[in-house]
Amino acid sequence: MMGIRRAITILAALLVATVSAEGQMLFKSKNSRQLVEELLPRNSFGITILNTHFKANPNSIASFVTTSEKLPIQSGIIMSTGMVTWAAYPNDSPSSGCAMFTPGDKRLEEIAGAKTSDAVILEIEFVANTDEVSFEYFFASEEYPEYVNKGVNDVFAFFIEGPGYDTLCNIAKLPTTGEPISVDHVNANRNSEFYIENKQWRGYSIDNPGNSLASVFQFDGMTTVLEAKAKIRPYATYKLTMAIADVGDNIYDSGVFIKAHSLKSEGKLQPVAPYLKSEIEKRMHLIGANRVRVNGDTVGFDKTIHFDFNSYDILSEDTTSLNEIADLLTQFFDARLKLIGHTDDVGSDEYNMDLSRMRARSVANYLNMHGIDDDRIITEGRGKRQPVTRLQTDEARRKNRRVEFLIYK
C-alpha cells in the first residue's frame, strides 16, 4: 500500500512539472543531447560530443537543481530506476519507490550477479583532446540500510569502450579497492568511508530541523562524491555508457547523480600533428588528397577541387570528399583550418587573385553548412602564382584549379 500511495503522489507531482518548496529540488525534462551538454564545462574545448542516445522510461532521467547545501551535488543530471521527482521528497518512509516495468541490462547483471530490471541507459559518443576523461557523481538508494546483502543489490556502472579497451571497462569503481559501486559494495559495514546514511524524516523538531538532509532527500543512503576517470587516446572516438538498474525487485529505487560541468578532459595535452597526419592518411582515398605535409604542429595537403573554368561553384563530384573533411574537422574539434585558393594561368593576375579567394570562400561556406564554425576557418587566395604544374594543357590547368588545406592547432 505504501508503494502504491507513493507512486500516485509522484505521478501527480510529475504532471504539474514541479516539486514543492519543501523538497528544494527542481527537475526539467530534456532530450539526451541537452542533458549531456549540461555535464560539459563552460567555455571548454577539451571534449566534444558526437552523438547521444537514451534508453529507458523518459521519466527516469532529468536535469536537476537544488537549493539545499545538504546534498553534495547541487546541479547536474539524475538517472533513477523510478521517477526522478521522487528523490526530492522528505525521507518519510523506509520503503518507498515505484516500478517502471522496463527491461534490465545484461552488462549490469554481470556486475550484480542477479537479474536486473528498470534499467536506465545513457550513451555518449565523444572525442577529447587529452589523454584522460573524468566526471563526478554520487549513488543513492532506497535499498539502504535494511536490504544490504539481501539479494537486492541495485547497481550502476559507467562503461567506456574505444581504442585501448578490448572489452567494456567499468570506470565506476572505488578508488581504494577497485570494487564496483552497488548497495552491497558500499554501505555502513563495507567501505563505510564512502557511505552517508540518510536517517528517516520525522517532521520538524529540534533534533531533526527542516534543513536536514532527510527533509529534502528521499533516498535512505548514498555514497560520497566520487570521480570516474579513464585514460584515452586523444582525438579518438569513444563511447561512454552510463547505466543503472534495480536488482531483485523493481519497487525500491536507486539513482545516480552526475555533477553539472564535470565531464571534462584535463589530462596531458598532446601535439595534434601526429594524430592528425595518421587520420588523414587513413582517409586519403576518401578525401581525395595528395601527399600529406607536416610542419611543426601544422598538417597540410592539396586537394583538387574540380571547379569549372572561370567558376567558384563547388561541383557535386567533390561533395563526398568535402563531407569527409568536415567529419575530420569534427573529430579534431579544436583544430583550425586555412584554405588557400589557386587558379590556372588563364586571365589577368588581378582577376585570378579574386577568383582564388572566392574558391577558398566557397569551400569554407560548404564546411560551414556541414557543422564547422566559420571562426575556425581562414581563407586566402594566391591566384595563379603557385601552380603545381607549368604545362599549359587542359589537364594541367585543371590540376592548378585547386584549394590547399592547412590544419593546425
What digits encode the pLDDT tens for the residues 45-75?
A: 789 999 999 999 999 999 999 988 889 999 9
pLDDT greater than 70 at residue 17: no
Q: How confident is the model at residue 393 (pLDDT cuts 50, 70, 90)?
A: very high
Distance CA 356, CA 362 (A): 10
**Is the pLDDT confidence value at 6 over 70?**
no
Least confident residue range of 131-140, 285-294, 332-341: 285-294
**CA–CA separation, 32 and 4 (whole Å):** 29
Q: Tell me what pLDDT residue 263 has.
A: 96
The pLDDT, as a whole number, for residue 373 is 96
pTM assigned to the model: 0.84
> How many Å apart are CA 105 and CA 243, to the nearest integer?
8
Q: Which domains does the chain have, with CATH numbers?
A: 2-259 (no CATH), 272-408 (3.30.1330.60)
Averaged pLDDT, 137-144: 95
The pairs formed by 101-108 with CB atoms below 8 angstroms and a separation of 24 or more are: 101/250, 102/56, 102/57, 102/60, 104/245, 104/246, 105/243, 105/245, 107/157, 107/159, 107/168, 107/241, 107/243, 108/155, 108/156, 108/157, 108/243, 108/244, 108/245, 108/247
The pLDDT of residue 19: 40
pLDDT the model gives residue 303: 78
Question: For 156-169, what is the mean pLDDT?
Answer: 96
Find how far residue 19's CA is from the centre of its chain. 28
CB 380 within 8 A of CB 360: yes
pLDDT tens for each residue of 344-359: 999 999 999 999 999 9
Whether 103 shows a pLDDT value over 90: the answer reads: yes
List residues bridging with 302 in a β-sheet.
Answer: 404
In contact, 3 and 93? CB cutoff 8 Å: no
pLDDT tens figures, 183-198:
999 999 999 999 999 9
**336-341: strand order across its sheet:** 289-295, 298-303, 403-408, 336-341, 377-381
Query: What backbone torsions phi and psi does residue 370 show, to the nearest 5 degrees?
Result: -115, 30
Mean pLDDT within 13-40: 72
Q: For cell 595563379, what's the residue?
A: 384
Q: How confident is the model at residue 211 (pLDDT cuts 50, 70, 90)?
A: low
pLDDT for res 23: 47
Mean model confidence pLDDT for the chain: 88
The reported pLDDT for the residue numbered 278 is 93
The pLDDT of residue 250: 84
Which whole number is the average pLDDT over 67-88?
93
pLDDT, tens digit (0-9, with 9 covering 90-100), for 220-274: 999 999 999 999 999 999 999 999 999 988 889 999 999 999 999 988 887 889 9
Report, as an integer, the average pLDDT of 352-368: 96
Residue the block writes with cell 508503494: 3
Q: Which of 239, 218, 203 is nearest to 53 (CA)?
A: 239
User: What pLDDT, in 10s, does the model give residues 282-320?
Assistant: 999 899 887 899 999 899 987 777 788 888 999 898 999
The band of 9, judged by pLDDT with boundaries at 50, 70 and 90, is very low
Q: Phi and psi of 305, rounded to 5°?
A: -95, 125
Percentage of the chain beyond pLDDT 70 is 91
Which grid coordinates belong to 227? 570521480
